[in-house]
Amino acid sequence: QVQLVESGGGSVESGGSLRLACTVSGARFSNMCIGWNRQYPGKDREGVASINTNDHTTFYADASKGRFTITEDAAKNTVYLEMSSLEEIDTAMYYCAADLGEYTGNWCRPARLRRFGVWGQGTQVTVSS
């Protein structure tokens, strides 16, 4: 059974940084698309960033380009989301999501993350002014 466990959320002041981690178990880490969605209260989840572990390609939503960086550590079966220059608009619940496969290209775009079948429990990020 595939499981995703997130960690690293918390509270930070505007302009600060946080690092989220998503650790995978029960699946081959090198053959998946894995990334982060966030969800505001009462809104649909939106993709933030993703990484294709088949070819190590990374993808970013426009709102996260230049501020967020997604990386992988295959030895730890973990994907990280480094978030810097955080703003109040980044306050949301962040979810890790994954889809298993050996595909490339648009399969791993952040916009597709919300359709993926494997999800973590979520971690709250709160940015205050």
Query: How far apart (Å, rounded) are the C-alpha atoms in residues 86 and 14?
Result: 5
Nearest CA-CA partner of 70 in 106, 105, 29, 33: 33
Residue 39 burial class via C-beta count within 10 angstroms: exposed 0-12, middle 13-18, buried 19 and up: middle
Name the DSSP letter for residue 43.
S
SS3 16: coil
pLDDT of amino acid 60: 97
pLDDT of amino acid 65: 95
Rounded to 5 degrees, φ, ψ at 114 are -70, -10
pLDDT of amino acid 105: 85
The parts of the chain modelled with pLDDT lower than 50 are none
pLDDT of amino acid 21: 98
